[in-house]
Amino acid sequence: MDLLAALVEKGLRRESPSREEALAVLATSDDDLLDVVAAAGRVRRHWFGRRVKLNYLVNLKSGLCPEDCSYCSQRLGSKAEILKYTWLKPEEAAEAAAAGVAGGAKRVCLVASGRGPTDRDLDRVSRTIEAVKEQNEGVEVCACLGLLSDGQAERLRDAGADAYNHNLNTSESTYGEITTTHTYADRVDTVGKAHAAGLSACSGLIAGMGESDEDLVDVVFALRALDPDSVPVNFLIPFEGTPLAEEWNLTPQRALRILAMVRFVCPDVEVRLAGGREVHLRTLQPLALHLANSIFLGDYLTSEGQAGRADLEMIADAGFEVEGAGTPTLPRHRVAGGGCGSVCGGDAAADGGGEGVRAGCGEAASAGGEATTAGCGGACGHTEPGAEAAAASESGRGTGGSAGDAARPDLVAVRRRGAGTDLAPNA
């Protein structure tokens, strides 16, 4: 396909595809799916080789959130039966983190429910960061605490945090349909605060909430404009007791197309396969490793993930390798220049790519037209087009699989993590 050849060449040059090209990826047929995966896989291997970075979540405070994010089992008014507890002690969090590091994780993500941290919360999290780093030499720590006020990102950096996660989740035009207690602009502002403080920004999306193809492309181009170092791609887990409990819109093929589109738009960024992968990709998870270079190991915030041993076996069987603690995740030009398209002429082969092509300059900030002002958010966690992008744009919200295939919620049950027990986070 001429489309895929053009997208590969742009990806190797760190050049943004057009919106029409991104929409066309989402509109490809199941007959072309393996070609799409192979093309996006070339871009992934060019920048990241066959390495897979492992990340591990520690839920510091679960449930009882005052925000009304429709996708979240911890939301205000949620009737989902989940673990609820207040802040873990630093030593408890460090012990939980150690289990992930022992499994090969090089980044620990410290997450807490809530609108945003108070100064007292930051004191707790700072002590927790110190405890995690003291017990696990060389580990990266990413904090995900909600909306940040002035000066809070700097406090986290001074405490030893390496990164901050806050997802955009969906497009600016539809954000108000998902959440009413804060705005899309609030999320963009928090990502900007993390950047300004010198933290590595982590920001992504949730697919499968009934959004259109245009919404998905909007949020991914917005993310490119914000220029985070890592982009988690979550697939909605439709928890009973939440407003989106019936939103079963994804097929494994649809999820792979979304990941491929993200890889083409963000070619040299850590694309992370995040929440919901087991539920929606199911037996096609190994194919997703050709698109994403990072995954979460073990459980998520309020749902069970695939067993860690199964993840490691999947990575090895698919011909990939776990990224070592001493290996930089990002290509050299992103580490040195601080962003996509900010430095010309990085050596892809030395950065972990396979083809040895020297990268040119991209135009990250200008790509995507009106979407360039958008932003992104924290760690939480779909639709199917017709044969043409134009037809997809008319299909509206919440369409299902390809060639008449419907999503199959009966194939995988959502497993709640430790509900009704005193199970420790990610035990």
Q: CA 155 to CA 160: how far, in whole Å?
A: 9
Of the candidates 142, 144, 340, 380, the residue annotated as catalytic is 142
How far apart are alpha carbons 289 and 256 in whole angstroms? 10
Is 202 a residue of the active site?
yes
Q: Which of 72, 340, 376, 380 is catalytic?
A: 72
Residue 124 appears among annotated catalytic residues: no
Return the SS3 of 167.
strand
Q: Catalytic site residue 72? A: yes
- Is 109 marked active-site? yes
Helix or strand (DSSP H, E) at 121: helix 119-135
344 catalytic residue (yes or no)? no
Asked if 303 and 237 touch (Cβ cutoff 8 Å), the reply is yes
Cβ contacts of residue 48 below 8 Å, gap of 6+?
270, 293, 329, 331, 352, 353
Contact 35, 2 (CB under 8 A): no
Give Cβ neighbours of residue 339 (< 8 Å, ≥ 6 apart): 227, 364
Q: Check if the beta carbon of residue 178 is closer than 8 Å to that of residue 170.
A: yes
Catalytic residue among 44, 65, 75, 263: 65
The residues, ordered by sequence, that sit 6+ positions from 233 with a Cβ below 8 Å of its Cβ are: 204, 205, 207, 258, 259, 262, 271, 272, 273, 274, 292
The residue annotated as part of the active site, out of 109, 144, 266, 340, is 109
283: which strand partners? Answer: none
Which of 14, 69, 75, 187 is catalytic? The answer is 69
Residue of 42, 51, 107, 202 marked catalytic: 202
Residue 266 bears catalytic tag: no
User: Which of the residues 44, 45, 187, 272 is marked catalytic?
Assistant: 272
Q: Angle 294-117-379 (CA atoms, 0-180°, nearest 5)?
A: 20
Residue 416 is among the residues annotated as catalytic for this protein? no
Write out the catalytic residue numbers.
65, 69, 72, 109, 142, 202, 272
